[in-house]
Amino acid sequence: MKDKIESIKKDIEQYSGSSAEAVEDFRVKFISKKSVINDLFEDFKKLSVEDKKEFGKTLNDLKTLAKEKLVSLSSGSIKNNTKNNTIDFSLPAEDDSVGSLHPLRIVRNNIIKIFRDIGFSIEDGPEIEEDWYNFTALNFPENHPAREMQDTFFISKDPDTVLRTHTSNVQIRLMEKQEPPMRVVIPGRVYRNETVSAKSHCFFHQVEGLYVDKNVSFKDLKDTLYYFAKEMFGSDTKVRFRPSYFPFTEPSAEMDISWKDGWLEILGSGLVDPNVLENCGIDSKEYSGFAFGMGIERIAMLKYGIDDLRLFSENDKRFLKQFRGVH
């Protein structure tokens, strides 16, 4: 072992090089877990007690020498790279250290806070989903025309596995495993096979809500969404409900808000269809509920005056920098 230590010590002392590659080669050879010095420590474990007393300090000194040499080589590498760098380090740094939240994240956080303040919890679930959770349990019978309302991405031509088309799949998973009452909002990304344009995209983001308890009424739904609209868009906001159709709610309604000189639709809603409750093992004669869903992009476009859906996913810094300081 003495000869090995002397040979490695000599190699360390004679090693030279100031490039980043040379420094890394030295680290790997003499400092890393696969280094020659680490191999010596493995051999050291097999020595007798007497030999360990003889070589212990020498081996530790060798390791210290290697670390000091690495520091020296690294310092030379930094100086060399700085000398050849065209950047003037005497100039003040650019004020580019403050980032910003993505506008979709800002709106998502605001929506969650509004509902959390009135007792809703937050749930999440899988984006790759089984047909049961994405369609069948939500009252979409097989081959029913209602399935054509959503152009679906199927996984590997498997008709039973899809990219979820809404976050309603989490509602089903939650109702299957939890007894009422439950009051949740479910934010997440969803996918639909649509042409990418200023007004549509193949993926977007939703927040859906679900409240299930005894004696839940349509008035409870209207009061909740009325509160949301005023918190999100201002106390002067007016709302109206229009009859609509969704397979998983009955009755169903779309909600509009007053906007400039007219009305704009921002979400769909309704009382949870009794069939959906029964599919999840909940007694529809004892419990009722309401559900709603909105597109986060839709809300963000209204709130910030954005007219092109593609801006949210193009990662253009000029667009994103506009949201600095917005929370």
Q: Give me the chain's average pLDDT, please.
A: 87
Q: In the chain, where are the structural domains located?
A: 2-83, 103-323
CATH of the domain spanning 103-323:
3.30.930.10
**Each residue's pLDDT tens digit, 219-256:** 999 999 999 999 999 999 999 999 999 999 999 999 99
With bands split at pLDDT 50, 70 and 90, how would you rate the model's confidence at 81? low
What integer pLDDT is reported at residue 312 of this predicted model?
Answer: 92
Phi, psi of 304 (to 5 degrees): -110, 5
What integer pLDDT is reported at residue 239 of this predicted model?
Answer: 94
Q: How far apart are CA 100 and CA 322, in angstroms?
A: 9
Task: Determine which helix (DSSP H) or strand (DSSP E) holds 23, and give its type and residue range.
Answer: helix 20-30
Do 217 and 251 contact (CB within 8 A), yes or no? no
Do 70 and 23 contact (CB within 8 A), yes or no? yes
What integer pLDDT is reported at residue 154 of this predicted model?
Answer: 83
Q: How far apart are CA 269 and CA 221, in angstroms?
A: 8
